[in-house]
């Protein structure tokens, strides 16, 4: 059984997925399709036939997208750069979190008398795990909710303010907690050489990560398939 609403939604999705149209464009084209379909139905066609002909008259989706892209270029780039800025912010937020975790682990390890090198290693790789987990969490949340949005932070003023306050707190409290944990780690170490060993071990781990992470990300970027427009 043909469902007009569903077909319209599918059509809209398909055009929207290319990212070349903005919301208003899609609504306007959808209204056009509705009116053309209704006109053809009045002329005696079945709804399904009418919809297919209306789509055909409106034009091929890829060609439409390409034309709209030319007009929307500025908005498209504003949207892309806001997502890039969001990506950088997400990375910074994750790495601040990871650094704090590493300091806390260091303090905890030294406090409970774990061997200093083991503590350092756990701190380094624990922070990597936290970094990756936070990045993954942010990515999944926004891929799920942000799919249809032009910018990562749409919505009400309240939500925008909430985000600003949240970011401010995160970027002040987390490094603050890190500092505190660092001070505790110094106090907890039996002597300075133990503290030194632990921090050196952490640094080695962090170094390994800072070499591996860009390599991994580059490989991932190179391996990502290109979304080519179907001709």
Partner 1 sequence: MAYSKELVAASATPLILSVLAHGENYGYAIIKRVAALTEGEMQWTDGMLYPVLHRLEEQGYIESEWRAPEGGRRRKYYHLRKDGAAALAEERRKWNVVNTALMSLWEVKPCLT
* Residues found near partner 1 in the complex (CB under 8 A): 24-25, 27-29, 31-32, 34-36, 57-59, 63-64, 67-68, 70-72
| CB 45, min distance to partner 1, A | 17
Tally Cβ neighbours within 10 Å of residue 219: 10
d(CA 52, CA 45): 11
Residue 106 φ/ψ, nearest 5 degrees? -60, -50
Q: Which is nearer to partner 1, 36 or 194 (CB)?
A: 36
Of residues 71 and 211, the one with the C-beta less far from partner 1? 71
Token output for 196: 């030194």
Alpha helices by DSSP H, the chain: 4-17, 23-42, 47-58, 61-111, 116-146, 157-188, 192-223
The nearest distance, CB 64 to partner 1, in angstroms, is 5
Shortest reach from residue 47's CB to partner 1, in Å: 17
Q: Which is nearer to partner 1, 15 or 124 (CB)?
A: 15
Work out how close the CB of 1 gets to partner 1 at its nearest, in angstroms, rounded to a whole number: 23
Decide whether 27 or 217 has the Cβ nearer to partner 1: 27
Phi/psi of residue 51, nearest 5 degrees: -65, -45
Nearer to partner 1, 21 or 128 (CB): 21
Query: In the block, which residue shows the tokens 């053809």?
Result: 40
Least Å distance, CB 31 to partner 1, is: 6
In angstroms, the CA 80 to CA 152 distance is 10
Residue whose CB is less far from partner 1, 11 or 195: 11
Q: In whole angstroms, how close is the CB of 59 to partner 1 at the nearest point?
A: 4
Q: Residue 215 to residues 97, 179, 222: CA-CA distances in angstroms?
A: 22, 30, 11
Give the residue from 148, 69, 47, 24 showing the smallest Cα distance to 55. Answer: 47
């Amino acid at each position: 059984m043909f469902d007009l609403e569903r077909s319209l939604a599918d059509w809209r999705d398909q055009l929207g997925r290319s990212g070349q149209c903005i919301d208003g464009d899609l609504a306007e084209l959808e209204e056009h399709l509705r009116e053309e379909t209704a006109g053809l139905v009045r002329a005696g066609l079945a709804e399904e036939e009418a919809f297919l002909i209306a789509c055909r008259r409106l034009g091929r989706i890829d060609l439409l997208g390409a034309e709209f892209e030319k007009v929307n270029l500025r908005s498209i780039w504003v949207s892309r750069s806001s997502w890039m800025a969001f990506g950088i912010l997400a990375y910074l937020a994750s790495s601040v979190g990871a650094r704090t975790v590493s300091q806390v682990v260091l303090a905890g390890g030294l406090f409970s008398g774990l061997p200093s090198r083991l503590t350092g290693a756990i701190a380094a790789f624990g922070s990597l795990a936290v970094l990756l987990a936070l990045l993954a969490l942010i990515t999944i949340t926004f891929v799920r909710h942000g799919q249809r949005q032009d910018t990562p932070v749409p919505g009400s003023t309240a939500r925008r303010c909430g985000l600003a306050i949240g970011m401010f707190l995160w970027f002040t409290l987390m490094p603050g907690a890190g500092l505190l944990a660092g001070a505790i780690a110094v106090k907890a170490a039996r002597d300075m050489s133990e503290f030194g060993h632990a921090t050196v071990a952490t640094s080695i781990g962090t170094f390994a990560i800072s070499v591996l992470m860009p390599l991994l990300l580059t490989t991932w970027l190179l391996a990502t398939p290109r979304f080519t427009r179907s001709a």
